[in-house]
Structure 1
């Protein structure tokens, strides 16, 4: 069983941060590994989800994500520069069932982001884990004061601050990781209550308050600062 869920980014070569930006990150309470926490939060974002934060979010939104068609042989980019709109069929009444319909409809198709690496149950858990994470981030996003413009200029420059590279790390793991891992530790096959206890204990660690703050700050900059 092959796959990776979540991110603990080891060995990612990051560009040097400018002194001004590095100081702004520290002064505004971002974590030292903000590029990693933000990458986890955004790596599979869609325009649909961004519009839950701000209904005016645009197609050219500047949020780098893993290419949804990562395993399409005609695709050359592991990471695309803007979170795309996801086409969701309305075959069912609830968002939950339509989400499951979407996940299952992609399995085995050309361009399937996860290729043959991801077991079906892991795909579903990942999708809903990310939706739950975004809901938690939105709670803080809604209460947060607008970040300063100079901080946002630094955060939105994802190729210089390491966020883009961290998202690319996730994409490479999707293609090449030899084991299903979470927080850089092997996971058991998800098949019963006992194995779910291990998964749940790992997943809840992504709700760390600092990681949520990092992501909410970044999204506030992207969605509320137009310049």
Structure 2
């Protein structure tokens, strides 16, 4: 099984794919603005005044993926409920969900994300070999961070060109870390030893 997979599909079809349960779900959700992209922005009206009538920006959609059949928040939370690991009794093993949403401090958060990157969030909330899922993966930077940090990463993206670009351009930029690689090898040897012991005791 591949450690990093970006599926050209909607997360709503997750049952059709093999996905391990995740320690972390990390995603920048689509806003689903549709034809109300400019909303209360003065650009909606000619000259910024509603007395002048609607401008060419009225009923304009920023994103070609916005549609009534697109992102559904209830299905997203159903997805998370099914694919986050169940909360264990062990300390420090509770699953986590990080969602980037627009609100008044969005620019502060975006600057913080640029400064620290997804690596920081993934390092804090997961351990080496844990699973991270990005249900709305876009270009796949979350999955690249997973690859660099020795985590398993799964993502979904509905735009074919993003998935193609991820495999052809972004994933080859992954940079292995010797310490992470050594830890992955140590864990694999431990698994093999446990399997061998189970066979002997069977």
TM-score, shorter chain, exceeding 0.5: no
By percentage of residues, which structure has more helix?
1
By percentage of residues, which structure has more strand?
2
TM-score, normalised relative to structure 1: 0.25
TM-score, normalised relative to structure 2: 0.27
